[in-house]
Amino acid sequence: MMPAQIPQDIRYEERLLGPLTIKQSAYLGICLLAAAIVYFQMPQLPDTVKMPVALILALLGVGLAFFNLDEFLFHYVGFMKQTKQTSWISPEARKLMGVKSIRADAVFLQDSRVLGVIKVRPINFGVLSEQDKDQVIWGFMEFVNALNFPIQIVMRSVNLDLEDYLRHLKRRIVQRDDKIALAYYEHFAEYMRSYIKVNKINDRHFYIVINGQKKKSEKETVDYLGTQCEEVISRLSLSGIVAERMSTHQITNFFKSYFTDSFELDDSYLSPITMYRKMWKEAPKPVMGVAEPDKEGGKR
């Protein structure tokens, strides 16, 4: 006969009144006693006050004894005390992100690390020729093998939203009072919305985070971090990958974007629902029905 193992985490509470534990019995007894005192020992109170108060105390005792109301209240109070919504400038957000300050085109963390952030312009790898694909692959392999300091590659995927661009395009057509172009626009806008929704098109942003090597002074650390960033950008360019270091303003907006609805990057408005608010200001006017590539490498 095989020996049976006795579980070690069994908890047993002594019963006092039938199925009620000592704690449950105490809850029920105290609440019922308080209800009795209110109802029988306070004649100065009118019945319209005594009865509701006594009933509430009795129901409170039943809830504590039979329905674990104490645990529910404990968790509810703890939940209400927690920070459920915050902003980038709040101390809670800074503590969560571990950011001490953002300056000199770098992120100063609370653990004394200094980070530089490089934004990489994505490549539509599928449209490249086989020769160009090989060049990108081998160039990236050489870039990784030549690194003598650690880096972190971050990808952020956001949903594509062209509503601002479509509204601006419609406004220009209405100003021209072109009925034919307006009819074409309605079909074009509906097609774009349907295509993005059905195919769940996302916009992806790629970043390289560089952990600056600690030097004797902060200035030397920041200067050497700049050298590291320039080296990464230069080596990536050999494989045809375009990258640029993010400024203090861009890094601040990037961090802030995790706490707000939108953020600004490279003077173009992007967000968790990527918003190309200014994409039409820097580019020539689009020809109706022809998609133009934007500076982020996507289609609009």
Q: Which helix (H) or strand (E) segment is 20 a member of?
A: strand 20-21
CB 160 within 8 A of CB 201: yes
Any idea which of 2-6, 73-77, 265-269 has the lowest mean pLDDT?
265-269
How confident is the model over 125-144, as pLDDT tens digits? 777 888 888 888 898 898 88
Residues of 126-143 as b/e, b for ≥16 C-beta within 10 angstroms? eeeeeeeeeebeebbeeb
Mean pLDDT of 187-198: 86
H-type alpha helices, 147-271: 163-176, 179-199, 218-237, 248-256
Mean pLDDT of 98-114: 90
- CA dist., res. 89 & res. 79, Å (int): 22
Domain boundary (26, 57, 72) is at 72
Mean pLDDT of 44-50: 85
The confidence score (pLDDT) of residue 86 equals: 58
**Range among 69-78, 91-100, 114-123, 195-204 rated most confident:** 114-123
Q: Is residue 3 part of a domain?
A: no
CB 189 within 8 A of CB 166: yes
Q: Whole-angstrom distance between the N-terminal and C-terminal Cα of the chain?
A: 74
Domain boundary (56, 72, 88) is at 72
My answer on whether 139 and 24 are in the same domain is no
pLDDT above 60 (res 273): no
Q: Is residue 235 part of a domain?
A: yes
How many structural domains compose the chain?
Answer: 2
Mean pLDDT of 145-170: 84
The confidence score (pLDDT) of residue 70 equals: 85
Binning pLDDT at 50, 70 and 90, where does residue 10 land?
low
CB 151 within 8 A of CB 228: no
Contacts of residue 213, defined as CB under 8 A and 6 or more positions apart, other chains included, come to 149, 221, 224, 225, 228
My answer on whether 64 and 182 are in the same domain is no
CB 154 within 8 A of CB 122: no
Any idea which of 6-10, 43-47, 133-137, 159-163 has the lowest mean pLDDT?
6-10
| Single-letter residue type at 148 | N
Q: In terms of Cα–Cα distance, which of 242, 265, 229 is closest to 117?
A: 229
Which residue range forms the structural domain that includes residue 155? 104-282
Q: Is residue 98 part of a domain?
A: no
Mean pLDDT of 48-72: 88
My answer on whether 147 and 232 are in the same domain is yes
My answer on whether 155 and 255 are in the same domain is yes
pLDDT above 80 (res 258): no
Residue 67 per-residue DSSP state: S
Q: Is residue 86 part of a domain?
A: no
Angstrom distances, CA of residue 158 to CA of 72, 202, 215, 273, 274: 37, 6, 37, 6, 6
- CA dist., res. 249 & res. 252, Å (int): 5
Bigger pLDDT: 104 vs 5: 104
| Single-letter residue type at 181 | A
Binning pLDDT at 50, 70 and 90, where does residue 229 land?
very high
My answer on whether 112 and 256 are in the same domain is yes
CB 253 within 8 A of CB 157: no
The confidence score (pLDDT) of residue 44 equals: 84
